[in-house]
Copies of this chain bind each other. A is one copy, B any other.
Amino acid sequence: MKQSSNVPAFLSKLWMLVKETHTNEFITWSQNGQSFLVLDEQRFAKEILPKYFKHNNMASFVRQLNMYGFCKVIHIDSGVVKQERDGPVEFQNPYFKQGQEDLLENIKRKVSSSKPEENKIRQEDLTKIISSAQKVQIKEETIESRLSELKSENKSLWKEVSELRAKHAQQQQVIRKIVQFIVTLVQNNQLVSLKRKRPLLLNTDGAQKKNLFQHIVKEPTSKSLRSGLNMYIFIKMMNYLF
């Protein structure tokens, strides 16, 4: 089989109508066979149409033609649209040509009302967009909240760091003063009464600790430690401390 089963009823009937000679008084091919003409619209509608279709309205016939992609051919005379009254009506479709019945299968009926779907899709899309926008907004609010918390925490932390640094500096000062106080005591020979003889430890492992001492005591300790005895007391204390 060729295409007859694939062609809608309307196209088959139209093809027959245009081709059949006994209807050529009302509907026939145009001179070049590229379109067809309806010669007497009123009689065609009332006498011919009901023989092929379930109506006798030209409007319904035209609706079907448009449905299948047929367009009315506008006649132009010298650049001016000239639609002569009661003249023939001409319709054309790129796949409706005289002698080329095989082209009919290319004519497709336009899908019925795709717009509702499009509108629905648009509404769905809008709904999705709005929904996701709300989610983004909520997320943003959450982040803003978290940001606010972090800022607050940060502020507290900076404050604590500042206070701790101050405390640290203060304690450093306290330690320095304590050591200086002891050094002063030693320098004033208030501990001379202690007469024990012990080896000077500074020469053995004091080198490493000297830096630590100097870091704490502004005054160089060397002056303070002339006496081996004072040095002994001092080193004992430092060993005790660090």
Contacts and interface: CB of A to CB of B under 8 A. Distances in A.
Interface of A: 42, 46, 50, 56, 59, 85-86, 122, 126, 129-130, 132-133, 136-137, 139-140, 143-144, 146-147, 150-151, 153-154, 157-158, 160-161, 164-165, 167-168, 171-172, 174-175, 177-179, 181-182, 190-194, 237, 240-242
Q: Is the interface of A mostly helix, strand, loop or mixed?
A: helix
Given A122-B122, A190-B194, A174 B86 contact: no
A67 to B, nearest CB: 16
Given A150-B147, A190-B194, A56 B171 contact: no
Given A178-B237, A178-B241, 8 more contacts: A42-B42, A42-B46, A56-B85, A136-B140, A154-B157, A157-B161, A175-B178, A181-B241
7 contacts: A59-B59, A136-B140, A143-B143, A164-B164, A168-B171, A174-B175, A191-B191
Contacts of A190: 191, 193-194
A122 B153 CA distance: 45
A122 B172 CA distance: 71
Contacts of A132: 133
Nearest to A160: B161
Contacts of A85: 50, 56
Nearest to A165: B164
Sorted nearest first, the 8 A-B pairs with minimum C-beta distance are A193-B193, A164-B164, A157-B157, A171-B171, A150-B150, A178-B178, A42-B42, A177-B241
A173 B158 CA distance: 25
A151 B99 CA distance: 80
A191 B85 CA distance: 138
A190 B56 CA distance: 135
Contacts of A146: 147
A97 to B, nearest CB: 27
A193 B167 CA distance: 37
Given A150-B147, A157-B154, A157-B157, A240 B140 contact: no
B175 A46 contact: no
